[in-house]
Amino acid sequence: MRTFLCTLALLVLGLLLIAAGSEPEEAPAAFDNASNGFADTAAHQVDLGIFDGVEVISDGLGPIYNAQSCRECHQSPQSGGLSQVTELRVGHRDHKGKFVNPSVPIANGTVVIAGRSLINDRAICPNGSFPDQEIQERVPETENIRTLRTSLNLLGDGFVEAVPDATLNEIATRQCRETKGRICGKAISVPVLEAPGKYGIGRFGWKAQHASLLSFSADAYLNEMGITSRLQPDEVTSLCDSVKDPEDKTGDDGLADIDHFARFMRATKAPPRDTKLAETDDAKKGSELFDSVGCARCHVRTMQTVPAGTQINGGAFTVPIALGAKTFHPFGDFLLHDVGTGDGIAIPVEEHYGKLYREMQPKYELTANRMRTPPLWGVRTRSRLMHDGTSLTFTDAILRHRGEASVERLKFIALKDRSKQQLLTFLRSL
């Protein structure tokens, strides 16, 4: 009997320890360029150096591109942060009202680039080797949908990647139920490039077009810097290209640049609050107003990652202890909403998506007038707001909200001046 009780006691103690160990803990948050534990200090510094590295033509830069390094677009207040840098997107609608990507002539009209809404602002030609080759993209007159998009913050995105798809679907369902259909975030299924045939709920990019940070890295390397990789092996144009594809080669450590980019982002800490300002009475009252006005319905305060050991991204990534069972505070839902500021650009649905092509096409078309809710963590470091960067104050940004957020906008307008300032103080603390 004593043996049985001892065994039972040990079993209960073990279960308690397991339960205690599985309790979520706060994700580390700081602007200190240090790892969150996903990578050791030496590896993180290597990844930082590659993230900051400047690409040149011999590396495969271009032929058309926007930037020469990741840091060019993700730099404030440290590498991986946001910036004022924008990219240009264009397109038009056909006679049925469906969004169509532009056909962009280059090389004096002898070559046409199609199938992408991005217009690259820079090109490597003409140069010494190709003095007569003109390949700079320009917006065709036919493309009357035109928009700029600011560069997004990447800090803390390892925690965002580890949020279960079910959580994002549940948030969307709850929003729709609680508002009787007035606010319904859209969670869209997107391909995971490193797991062919697998899909996940998108959460990265202004259209939530990627679910995986490795997929996001490969996409940006090709479209922003013009460098091909094993996941994006095809050039946008072969004109002036003198480097064999894929240009992103595996190094002696077994990793290509896109792997270093993904590891760097996964190891970054979350953007921290301005703790001094957050503790003021005005910021605390503003926090309450943020909820009562309804901002927190889409700018969701808190999320939790999956337990360590969980496989995500179609089984291509196993969440480690550093990212597993972590609570973080993004003030965003990573869903697509129509708040009257949609840029009209839809995510393209490609034939190689396979059997889901027909099913996904209508939902992807819905992305045209929807943007991903920008997470507000770290927003105090941004001077230009909203997707296009044209709102220069928090008040400007709030007053641009229409559509799904019309009621919340009117509630803000109805606040007394003191209350408005308290809510804005809260925003400045994020």
Q: Which of 153, 128, 170, 179 is nearest to 77 (CA)?
A: 153
For residue 147, give the H/E element and its range.
strand 145-150
Beta strands in 296-406 (DSSP E): 303-304, 311-312, 317-318, 326-328, 336-337, 371-372
Let me know if residue 404 belongs to a domain. Answer: yes
Other C-beta atoms closer than 10 Å to the C-beta of 206 total 22
Q: Which two tokens stand for residue 344?
A: 């009209």
Residues of the chain with pLDDT under 50: 1-21, 351-353
For residue 396, the enclosing domain spans 23-428
Let me know if residue 1 belongs to a domain. Answer: no
Inter-residue contact 388 to 146 (CB < 8 Å): no
Give CA–CA dist 398/385, Å, rounded: 10
Let me know if residue 106 belongs to a domain. Answer: yes
Give me the pLDDT at residue 350, please: 57
What residues have CB less than 8 Å from 415, skipping those under 6 apart? 289, 293, 423
Let me know if residue 221 belongs to a domain. Answer: yes
What's the domain count of the chain?
1
Let me know if residue 288 belongs to a domain. Answer: yes
Give me the pLDDT at residue 52, please: 98
Q: Which of 416, 353, 399 is nearest to 190 (CA)?
A: 353
Give me the pLDDT at residue 21, please: 46
Give me the pLDDT at residue 109, please: 94
Let me know if residue 15 belongs to a domain. Answer: no
Q: Which two tokens stand for residue 81?
A: 């942060």
What is the Cα 393 distance to its own chain's centre?
22
Give me the pLDDT at residue 17, please: 33
Q: Which of 364, 372, 370 is nearest to 100 (CA)?
A: 364
For the whole model, what pTM was predicted? Answer: 0.92
Full DSSP string of 61-109: --SEES-SSHHHHS-BSSTTSB-S-EEEEEEEE-TTS-EE---EEETTT
Full DSSP string of 3-15: HHHHHHHHHHHHH
Let me know if residue 77 belongs to a domain. Answer: yes
Let me know if residue 14 belongs to a domain. Answer: no
Give me the pLDDT at residue 347, please: 87
- Cα-based distances in Å from 269 to 116, 157, 272, 329, 330: 32, 8, 8, 12, 12
Distance separating the N- and C-terminal Cα atoms of the chain: 58
- Cα-based distances in Å from 163 to 261, 388, 411: 20, 27, 31
